[in-house]
Structure 1
Amino acid sequence: MVREIVLANAPSGFPVVELGKSDSTFELKELELPELKDDQVLLQTIFLSNDPAQRGWIQKDQNADRAYVPPILPGERMRAGSVAKVLKSTSPSIKAGTVVQCYGGWAEQLVVNAKDAFPLPDIPELSPSVFLGAVGVPGLTAYFGLKDVCKLQRGQDIIISGAAGATGNVAVQLAKHVFGAGKVVAIAGSDEKCEWLKKIGADVALNYKSPLFSEAIAEAVKPSYVDCYFDNVGGAILNACLPLIKRNGCIAACGAISGYNDPSQTVLSNWSEIIINRITVQGFIVMDYYHRRGEGIQVISSAIKEGKLSVAGGETIVRTGFEKVPEVWMRLFRGENTGKLVTQIADL
Structure 2
Amino acid sequence: MTTSSSNHTTTKQWILASKPTGAPILSGPGATFKLQTAELPALQEGQLLAKVRYFSNDTGLRNFIQSTVAPERFYVPTVPLGAPMRSGVIAEVLESASPKFKAGDLVLDFHLGTWSELVVLDAATSQPLAPLPNGLPLTHYLGAFGASGIAAYTGLYYAGGAKPEHTVVISSAAGATGSMAVQIAVKLLGAKRVVGIAGSDEKCAWVVEQLGAHACVNYKSATFLADLKAATPDEVDVYFDNVGGAVLDAMLTRMKRAGTVAVCGAVSGYNSDEPMQLCNWFELISMRIQIRGFIMLDWMDKAPQIVGELIAAAADGRIKLQDGETVVEARIEEQPEVWMRLFSGANQGKLLTKLIV
Normalising by the residue count of structure 1, what TM-score does the alignment of the two structures yield? 0.95
- The equivalent of 2:343 in structure 1 is 333
CA distance in 2, matches of 1:7, 1:170: 31
Identity across matched positions, percent: 42
CA distance in 1, matches of 2:270, 2:136: 32
Tell me whether 1:207 sits opposite 2:218 in the alignment: yes
Tell me whether 1:84 sits opposite 2:91 in the alignment: yes
- The equivalent of 2:121 in structure 1 is 112
| Matching residue's letter, 1:258 | S
Which protein has the bigger strand share? 2
> Which stretch of structure 1 is more off in the superposition, 261-270 or 91-100?
261-270
Shift in Å, 1:296: 1.3
- The equivalent of 2:284 in structure 1 is 274
| Matching residue's letter, 1:234 | G
CA distance in 1, matches of 2:67, 2:284: 31
| Matching residue's letter, 2:23 | F
1:229-263 deviations in Å (ceiling 9; x for gaps): 11100100111111111111110011100011115
- The equivalent of 1:54 in structure 2 is 61
Shift in Å, 1:265: 6.0
- The equivalent of 2:130 in structure 1 is 121
Give ranges in structure 1 of 5+ residues lacking alignment. none
1:258-278 deviations in Å (ceiling 9; x for gaps): 011115362100111110110
Tell me whether 1:31 sits opposite 2:35 in the alignment: no
CA distance in 2, matches of 1:32, 1:57: 23
Tell me whether 1:230 sits opposite 2:240 in the alignment: yes
Aligned counterparts, 1:173-192, within 5 A: 173-192=183-202
| Secondary structure, counterpart of 1:312 in structure 2 | coil
Match of 1:305 among 315, 319, 322: 315
1:260-319 deviations in Å (ceiling 9; x for gaps): 111536210011111011011000011111122112112211211221111111111111
Contact 1:184 1:202 in 2 (8 A): yes
Distance 1:268 1:183, change over 3 A: same
Contact 1:2 1:30 in 2 (8 A): yes
Give ranges in structure 2 of 5+ residues lacking alignment. 1-9
Contact 1:251 1:282 in 2 (8 A): yes
Tell me whether 1:196 sits opposite 2:206 in the alignment: yes
| Secondary structure, counterpart of 1:266 in structure 2 | coil
Shift in Å, 1:60: 6.6
CA distance in 1, matches of 2:187, 2:12: 43
1:188-224 deviations in Å (ceiling 9; x for gaps): 11111111101211110111111111110011111x1
CA distance in 2, matches of 1:346, 1:145: 34
CA distance in 2, matches of 1:115, 1:10: 30
CA distance in 2, matches of 1:334, 1:219: 27
> Which stretch of structure 1 is more off in the superposition, 135-144 or 125-134?
125-134
**Matched pairs, number:** 344
Normalising by the residue count of structure 2, what TM-score does the alignment of the two structures yield? 0.93
